[in-house]
A and B are shown apart, each in its own frame.
Chain A
Amino acid sequence: DAGVTQSPTHLIKTRGQQVTLRCSPKSGHDTVSWYQQALGQGPQFIFQYYEEEERQRGNFPDRFSGHQFPNYSSELNVNALLLGDSALYLCASSRQGRNTEAFFGQGTRLTVV
């Protein structure tokens, strides 16, 4: 079992550009959540996907959007990048009804210059 995998591991983008991050959940998991972790901070919840729909959303602007595919994998899209979007983006997967046990991926380190 590969666990939760995220790609890419690192990337650098310019202000104003758009970025797509990808996540494959742990085998048997159907729910994917995305978090932003700024340097020196705890993870902040962005949104959660289940059955290909956004189910819950944190306090993030509409520039942050996502998608879940039929195989449960997910993408996070960020438009019009700002310097403040530089962070570690974490994906967590879980099973509906067993959300107490969420498994996190290694994260994607995004640097906006």
Chain B
Amino acid sequence: QQQVKQSPQSLIVQKGGISIINCAYENTAFDYFPWYQQFPGKGPALLIAIRPDVSEKKEGRFTISFNKSAKQFSLHIMDSQPGDSATYFCAAAERGRGGGNKLTFGTGTQLKVEL
């Protein structure tokens, strides 16, 4: 059962452009939504996370937009750089029900930023 759907599967963006990755979830008990960045040969690294009590969170060039009624959230990377080329995963957890970091991951988006 795919509880977190992620799109697109791959994305090519020009340097300086905006990268947008979307995720949708089904489980309304999810209350914690992190994004992870993974480079080849490395483990996923936490990028930014949001709780459903806010609609947007920004950290540097990275912004999460959250739409609780639509059960959707997205990652925006502003001024995309070649160094941002990596695989991005959205995830969700039920922290309020003691789920801690029992994360359900999306399928990943391979981002390539071209010069």
Judge: A and B partners, yes or no: no
What is the interface of chain A, defined by CB distance below 8 A to chain B? none
What is the interface of chain B, defined by CB distance below 8 A to chain A? none
